[in-house]
Amino acid sequence: RKDDDRKIAALDALIRGARSAVVFTGAGVSTGSGIPDFRSPGGLWSKNRPIDFDDFYSSLEMRREAWRRKFTMDDATRGAAPNAAHRAIARFVREGRASVVVTQNIDGLHEASGVPRDRLIELHGNGTYAACLDCRARHELTEVRAVFEASGDPPDCRVCGGLVKSATISFGQAMPVEAMMRAEAAAREADLFLVLGSSLVVYPAAALPVAAKRAGAALVIANREPTDLDPYADLLLRGDLVEIFGP
């Protein structure tokens, strides 16, 4: 308890002294909003192995399965709202402490909590809409779902006939180059690098804290479970983010 309070005070002091912090978030910031993560016990991976990009690309049956899961998940998490951690992060940006929020999440909750689009780097895309894999034309999920439910198949791109996929990055799919480069540049210029709710096992995203630290940033890791980078953290908080930043 006492130790926790001391660490939260230390975190507070680091943030108040920061001018170019990078806040790096994973699924753990959103579990407090009722969106399950992948790797925790009871997380999504204990139920379903994720569908790789190649499988989605090459198999109609996999595309059907991917869309079925997507709509089921969306129904289960409809109405999810930002929690205390999202709100604190948005405040760091507003107050000029943090330069950007770099997220692995696809749930749109950082934007919903008021982080401006130009301060938000979504490394794994955004699950609140769909896009054509060939021409990138945006498709709304409601349109995709209407076609899927009427015909049993997802629609092809209305512009070029290409495959339409949730605008997220699957395993085996190329990372968005420009987002990755912006995140790397921000990490190199950061005075503070805050890892919040990420198991730090997905590369290349997990390389960012190392790059930041090497370039001189203080590294803070706040996560419920240990991560491989814990030994390099200047401050380590092992706990629930909603409690750390709450209420």
Spatial neighbors of 59 by CB under 8 A, at least 6 apart, are none
Closest listed residue to residue 89, CA positions, set 212, 226, 195: 195
Q: Which is nearer to ligand NAD, 67 or 157 (CB)?
A: 67
Q: Which of residues 185-204 bind ligand NAD (CB under 6 A)?
A: 197-199, 202
Cα–Cα distance for residue pair 183/219, rounded to 1 Å: 16
**Residues that constitute the known binding site:** 132, 135, 157, 160
In the complex with ligand NAD, the residue whose CB is nearer, 98 or 222, is 222
The three-state secondary structure class of 125 is strand
Q: Is 209 in the site for ligand NAD (CB under 6 A)?
A: no
Residue list, annotated binding site for Zn(2+): 132, 135, 157, 160
Beta bridge partners of 139: 130
Instruction: Please tell me whether residue 82 binds ligand NAD under the rule CB under 6 A.
Output: no
- For residue 109 the two structure tokens come to 């909750």
2-21 exposure pattern, b = at least 16 Cβ within 10 A, e = fewer: eeeeebbeebeebbeebebb
Cα–Cα–Cα angle for 139, 175, 188, rounded to 5 degrees: 125
Q: Which does 225 bind (CB under 5 to 8 A by kind): ligand NAD, Zn ion, none?
A: ligand NAD
111 binds ligand NAD (CB under 6 A): no
**Which one, 125 or 154, has the nearer CB to ligand NAD?**
125
Candidates 15, 132, 241, 245: give the one binding ligand NAD (CB under 6 A): 241
Q: From the list ligand NAD, Zn ion, none, which binds 240 (C-beta under 5 to 8 Å, kind-based)?
A: ligand NAD
Hey, is 52 helix, strand or coil? coil
For the segment 20-39, give every residue that binds ligand NAD (CB under 6 A): 26-28, 30-32, 35, 37-39
Max CA distance (Å), the chain: 60
Q: Which residues are part of the catalytic machinery? A: 124
Task: Point out which residues bind Zn ion (CB under 5 A).
Answer: 132, 134-135, 137, 157, 159-160, 162
